[in-house]
């Protein structure tokens, strides 16, 4: 039985492994889907370790007669956090993760930041 991916249909989603990640814990891949080709990484799930927002949990099935090529089935896609900036901090520090809603709740709970006037 041949799948749409084997026939070259519009429903393909495949990855090609091309080397280990820099830390050796995962693999670097090229992923091809209709209309796009992406680079990425696959890593094993670890108990107690959170899934990165926007990441996918996938099941890979080897393609016969194509070493290193796997069909992809997405089992779960972690939601992206709304209101969180994805760009790195301008000063090279940690990413800003407080959303606008978080700040408003903080101010309702603890009050707005109050700076005492300088005595001098």
CB count in 10 Å sphere of residue 34: 9
pLDDT tens for the chain, residues 1 to 120 = 444 444 456 788 999 998 999 999 999 999 999 999 999 999 999 998 888 888 999 999 999 888 889 999 999 998 887 655 555 555 666 666 677 777 777 677 777 666 667 666
Q: In which domain, by residue range, is 86 found?
A: 82-112
CA distance 69 to 50: 27
Name the pTM for this structure.
0.57
- Is there a domain that residue 120 lies in? no
Helix H or strand E encompassing 106: helix 100-110
Q: What is the pLDDT of residue 2?
A: 44
Q: Are 98 and 81 in contact (CB under 8 A)?
A: no
Q: What is the pLDDT of residue 98?
A: 72
Assigned token pair, 1: 């039985």
- Is there a domain that residue 97 lies in? yes
Shared domain check, 71 and 86? no
Q: Are 32 and 9 in contact (CB under 8 A)?
A: no
Q: What is the pLDDT of residue 34?
A: 92
CB count in 10 Å sphere of residue 99: 14
Q: What is the pLDDT of residue 109?
A: 75
> In total, how many domains does the chain have?
2
Shared domain check, 43 and 14? yes
């Amino acid at each position: 039985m041949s799948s749409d991916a084997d026939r070259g249909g519009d429903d393909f989603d495949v990855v090609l492994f091309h080397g280990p990640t820099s830390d050796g814990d995962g693999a670097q891949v090229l992923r091809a889907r209709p209309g796009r080709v992406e680079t990425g990484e696959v890593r094993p799930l670890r108990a107690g370790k959170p899934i990165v927002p926007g990441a996918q949990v996938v099941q890979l099935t080897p393609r016969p007669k194509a070493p290193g090529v796997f069909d992809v089935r997405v089992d779960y896609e972690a939601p992206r956090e709304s209101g969180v900036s994805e760009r790195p901090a301008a000063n090279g520090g940690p990413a800003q993760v407080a959303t606008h809603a978080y700040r408003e709740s903080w101010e309702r709970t603890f009050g707005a930041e109050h700076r005492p006037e300088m005595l001098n």
